[in-house]
Amino acid sequence: MTNSMRQASILAFLLIALGMGVFVTKAVRHGFPLTPGVTTTVWDFEIYLEFAGQNRATRLEVFIPTSDAERNVSGEQFYNGPFGLSLTRDDDTRNRRAIWTYRYPEGRKVLRYTAQTIGETPDDPIPSSLGRADRDARPFEGDMVRQQAFIVWTSTLRRRSADPLSQAALTIQEIFNPEGSDEIEVLLPDLPRPLAQLELARITLESQGVAARVVNGVFLSEGRRRADLRSWLEYRAGGEDVRYFPGGEPARFFTLWYGTDDFVDSRGASELDVQIALQGNRSSAEQVALGPNGDDSFAVRYFGFDGLPLTTQLVYKVLVTIPVGIVLLVFLRQFIGIQTLGTFMPVLIGIAFRETALLNGLLLFTILIAIGLAARMYLERLQLLLVPRLAVVLIFIVIAMAGITILMTGANQAIGLSISLFPMVILTMTIERMSIVWEEYSAGEAVRQAVGSLMVASLAYLAMTHPQVEYLMYNFPELLFVLMGICLLMGRYTGLRLTEIWRFRELARR
């Protein structure tokens, strides 16, 4: 065993030992689950404000979620740009607001708030901040006629119900009765529906000594760029927590603020665009429970991405899977002997498949390569210099991509839309390499290498996007050391490749 061999083996052993050591510590001592099976969905929540500054004092007040014992919000981040930020909290309603201010903003401005939450379910207890159960009845406010109507209506309700709970249910049923009745129409406050009905229900319940409030938030059903704001009612009648959702109960929701105020209150900003974005991420239940400072052992603190901002975490989620693709590529090259165009090109294509999904990606790749190759063959006749020719091919690829997108969208195919960041530089270099192989060897050899590359790219894509792989690599980044160790060992493999066994097969026969 030579010195270099021994060094490589020792280093590989150390790396693997380090990675596996931390991995086992986390798995055994801290009970990190090894599969994504036992997970809950963690929702990335983002409020996105975009507006045009008018070069005058600007103030934006936005409700942001409150963290209660019952509702876990973590990883809050504010992206303020040049704006000043202050946070207020109303002790009575427990509403939180972010207030962004700036004296002379000009041009388009973006403000963001992001957080993570697991949300709430309709069965969760209502946060204790909902007033005392037996607070004094509040009188209905309004002119004489409406007060009169209110008293008449509520006394019939009381007569027709047995206890506060059934009376509350009856109240809501009456208010949301699609048939409607004139007396309720009169009572509805001046608000958009269903907020007006919810507010009336709240007033009615409170007047009867039932603690109630209007809640605003979002439903956590699927990832969306623009989630709708919803309103519902929660009350506590007869010691029981009840939520009423007009239009059906969601499986999971997330509370932003209480009351009937507008979500955003802005001054001095025009063309305001408010978006609420939601993105669900599977994550281990344990980790959510641990929280940012639940456990501070060495292994947990230094081998994890929990402390990072949300956006950075998302980047690393993808980044840490790439080495898996690379290891696979090394294996396919050093042990199987598959020939590819360019060393790491297949992995880059595999990464591009993330956006297009596998079949679409393969289809797009093949089409673009074929078109590009045809263009390259023609350009050969014009006898251009190398770099300008590459540039022409690249621009041609962009045009071809645009063409495909437009055609496919016209034909109602979603395939074209996923093309967005398909790496055209890689495509261009692939085309260039392929045409050199084509000229110097044969069309067959060029196609063979292209197919080999696509095969490796597909395998790399499947490996990199496998949920188990994603889960393990993201939650146990120490495995990167193990991968590095494996690569070191593979780098010292001196045996025959699978394709070489075939190539040299005659030598074994004689």
Partner 1 sequence: MLKTFLELKRRGVIGINERNVRYVNANNPRRLVRLVDDKVETKRLAQQAGIPTPDLIGSIANARDMRELDTLTYREDGFVIKPAQGAQGNGIMVVTGQLKGGFRLANGRRITKDEIKFHINNVLSGMYSLGGQPDVAMLEYRVKFDPVFETVSFKGVPDIRIVTFKGIPVMAMLRLPTAESDGKANLHKGGVGVGLDIATGAARSAMQHDSSIDAHPDTAAPLRDIQVPDWDDILLMAARAYDVAGLGYLGVDIVLDEQRGPLLLELNARPGLSIQIANQLGVKDRLNAATHAADEKARDAPARVALAKSLYTDADSADIADEAAVKQAS
Binding site for partner 1 (CB under 8 A): 2, 4, 334, 337, 383, 385-387, 436, 440-441, 491-498, 500-501, 503-508, 510
> Cβ of residue 487: shortest distance to partner 1, in angstroms?
14
Tokens 């239940």 -> residue = 285
* Rounded CA separation 147/155 (Å): 12
Cβ closer to partner 1: 151 or 496?
496
Which H or E run includes 396? helix 386-410
| Neighbour-count burial of 192, counting CB atoms closer than 10 A to its CB (0-12 exposed, 13-18 middle, 19+ buried) | exposed
Cis status of the peptide bond prior to 125, with omega within 30 of 0 = no
* Rounded CA separation 11/207 (Å): 75
> Cβ of residue 2: shortest distance to partner 1, in angstroms?
7
CB count within 10 Å of CB 183 equals 14
Q: Counting runs of H as helices and runs of E as strands, what totals does the chain give?
A: 18, 12
Let me know the angle formed at the C-alpha of 25 by 24 and 29, rounded to the nearest 5 degrees: 115
Cβ closer to partner 1: 104 or 502?
502
Q: Please enumerate in sequence order all residues whose Cβ is within 8 A of that of 240, keeping only pairs 6 or more positions apart, or say none.
A: 165
* Rounded CA separation 373/361 (Å): 18
Residue 217 is encoded by which pair of tokens? 């938030």
Cβ closer to partner 1: 202 or 389?
389
Residue 324 is encoded by which pair of tokens? 């898996």
Q: Angle between the 195-207 and 144-159 helix axes, to the nearest 10 degrees?
A: 70
Cβ closer to partner 1: 132 or 510?
510
Cβ closer to partner 1: 8 or 195?
8
**DSSP SS3 for 461:** helix
* Rounded CA separation 358/413 (Å): 15
> Cβ of residue 390: shortest distance to partner 1, in angstroms?
10
* Rounded CA separation 139/119 (Å): 34
> Cβ of residue 485: shortest distance to partner 1, in angstroms?
17
> Cβ of residue 431: shortest distance to partner 1, in angstroms?
13
> Cβ of residue 336: shortest distance to partner 1, in angstroms?
12
* Rounded CA separation 30/297 (Å): 9
> Cβ of residue 391: shortest distance to partner 1, in angstroms?
12
> Cβ of residue 414: shortest distance to partner 1, in angstroms?
37
Cβ closer to partner 1: 64 or 327?
327
Cβ closer to partner 1: 132 or 381?
381
Cβ closer to partner 1: 272 or 436?
436
> Cβ of residue 299: shortest distance to partner 1, in angstroms?
35
* Rounded CA separation 379/396 (Å): 11
Sign of CA dihedral 256, 262, 266, 267: negative
Cβ closer to partner 1: 236 or 333?
333
Cβ closer to partner 1: 276 or 390?
390
> Cβ of residue 381: shortest distance to partner 1, in angstroms?
10
* Rounded CA separation 206/200 (Å): 10
* Rounded CA separation 258/128 (Å): 13
Cβ closer to partner 1: 69 or 387?
387
CA atoms within 13 A on the CB side of 366: 12
Q: Are 209 and 171 in contact (CB under 8 A)?
A: no
> Cβ of residue 462: shortest distance to partner 1, in angstroms?
24
CB count within 10 Å of CB 59 equals 15
CA atoms within 13 A on the CB side of 238: 9
Cβ closer to partner 1: 256 or 393?
393
> Cβ of residue 349: shortest distance to partner 1, in angstroms?
19
